[in-house]
Amino acid sequence: MKANNRLVKRVSALVLCGALAAGTFLMSAGAVNTNVTAQLSPNINVVVDGATRTFYNAGGTEVHPIVYNGTTYLPLRAIGELMGKNVNWDQSSMTASLSGTRTNGGVAGTPDNTTVAQNVAAVVSTDITVTVDGVVRTFTNENGTAVYPLVYNGSIYLPLRAIGNLMGKTVSWDGATSTATLSGSSGGLVITDADSFGNGSNTGNTGNTGNTGNTGNTGNTGNTGSGQTATGLITADQAKSKALAHAGLSSNQVSFVRAYLEWDDGRQVYDVEFYTSDYKEYDYEIDARTGAILSFDYDADYYTPPANQTGTTITRDKAISIALSYVSGATQSNVRSCKLDRDDGRMEYEVEIVYGTMEYDFEIDAYTGTVISRDVDSIYD
């Protein structure tokens, strides 16, 4: 009994020290904990939508997948980055929440090539609550048995299958290469994400009661005055309006190609595309829940350079200044590259700016300074 008590104290101290060092999550003394032995598995590769991912904790230290009871676990905070959501830990309620649109980017770190597969002491906690956009989420294995978060070295981990559900991804495992893959839409599994379409009646999420009246979502009725559909999403018309406002255009100045709702990286977005009378094309990706503009692209596909594109080109500094005028708050230090190139028979500057969590790419006519195209995407895409 004394030996067991010493083991509990050592494991609790390990978790607490790891949490303080990493700046991530703490376990309270009253949590319902089970001390377990898991396997730290740096040999496992994780591929998300075709790209191999490396995960870091809040301190920039690489965190590796963990295998426990035959299930692969991934770090929750790093997955929150991939979903574009802010991750918060509330010590008083023992709640990890993923919500909103991530504003402070991701954590960069140095890859760890020295850690080897090994047994580690971890903690399974039934006292931790996980919410996504304010809705409590619970997790089960393929047999329908409840599974709970795992805590190791101050980080919360969730089973791979649960991560797939959160992101709306199909999960597969290749034992020959030790590769876990999350890709595309999870088909019927995305229905689980309907739990996040709460309308304020989901207190405690018990049985998901309180969602009556949402049956079928026929015509998305119930939209009066709220600015959102019965599922809590903005409408396609509202997505169009937000895109037009950002472009500084009105509806009578453009022709819409599409404005449809789709899933991307575990969240619903509107893909809005329109063009002007002079055939300048605009593409926007807008968060269907918050209305935030996630990315946009502008192309003057039919732009014709002056017939006499001769004389003196604008300077490199002038091209950079033009590009920076489109990125509020950015300075020279945010310019990653600026080069003079020939494309489609014209001379142009290609300027790349990274500011915050976004990457901006510009094509600028080298003679007139006209912005031929500009593209904005998250640095994590």
Residue 249 makes CB contacts below 8 A (sequence gap 6+) with: 276
Residue 338 makes CB contacts below 8 A (sequence gap 6+) with: 316, 319, 320, 323, 349, 350, 351, 352
Asked if the model's pLDDT at residue 165 lies above 60, the reply is: yes
**Residue with more model confidence, 187 or 123:** 123
pTM of the predicted model over 0.75: no
**d(C-alpha 120, C-alpha 38), whole Å:** 5
Closest by alpha carbon to 294, among 28, 55, 85?
85
239, with CB counted inside 10 A (0-12, 13-18, 19+), is: buried
Tokens of 307: 């017939």
pLDDT digits (tens, 9 = 90+) for 8-31: 444 444 444 444 334 344 444 445
pLDDT score for 350: 92
pLDDT score for 360: 92
| Mean pLDDT value of segment 212-241 | 55
pLDDT score for 362: 94
Q: Which residues pair with 296 in a beta bridge?
A: 284, 376
pLDDT score for 313: 86
Count other Cβ atoms within 10 Å, centred on residue 122: 24
Write the DSSP symbol of residue 207.
G
Closest by alpha carbon to 85, among 105, 106, 99?
99
Asked if the model's pLDDT at residue 191 lies above 60, the reply is: no
pLDDT digits (tens, 9 = 90+) for 241-296: 999 988 888 888 888 877 888 887 778 889 898 888 776 788 899 988 888 888 88
Least confident of 48-62, 97-111, 199-213, 366-380: 199-213
pLDDT score for 106: 67
Q: Is 112 left (phi over 0), alpha (psi -120 to 50) or beta?
A: beta
Asked if the model's pLDDT at residue 324 lies above 90, the reply is: yes
| Mean pLDDT value of segment 136-140 | 84
**d(C-alpha 380, C-alpha 256), whole Å:** 28
Closest by alpha carbon to 200, among 216, 212, 218, 215?
212
Measure the N-to-C terminal CA separation of the chain; round to a whole number of Å.
Answer: 52
**Cross-sheet strand order for the sheet of 45-48:** 51-52, 45-48, 179-183, 170-174
Asked if the model's pLDDT at residue 348 lies above 80, the reply is: yes
Q: Which residues pair with 36 in a beta bridge?
A: 122
| Mean pLDDT value of segment 171-190 | 67
**Residue with more model confidence, 184 or 326:** 326
What stretch of H or E contains 129?
strand 129-132
At 144, the amino acid letter reads: G
**d(C-alpha 142, C-alpha 69), whole Å:** 13
**d(C-alpha 177, C-alpha 298), whole Å:** 41
At 11, the amino acid letter reads: V
pLDDT digits (tens, 9 = 90+) for 65-114: 999 888 889 988 888 877 888 888 888 888 888 887 776 666 777 788 78
pLDDT score for 305: 58
Closest by alpha carbon to 112, among 42, 48, 179?
42
**d(C-alpha 84, C-alpha 87), whole Å:** 9
Closest by alpha carbon to 122, among 46, 15, 218?
15
Average model confidence (pLDDT) for the chain? 75
Asked if the model's pLDDT at residue 208 lies above 50, the reply is: no
| Mean pLDDT value of segment 345-363 | 88
Asked if the model's pLDDT at residue 317 lies above 90, the reply is: yes
Closest by alpha carbon to 121, among 215, 17, 238, 242?
17
What is the C-alpha radius of gyration for the chain, rounded to an integer number of angstroms? 24
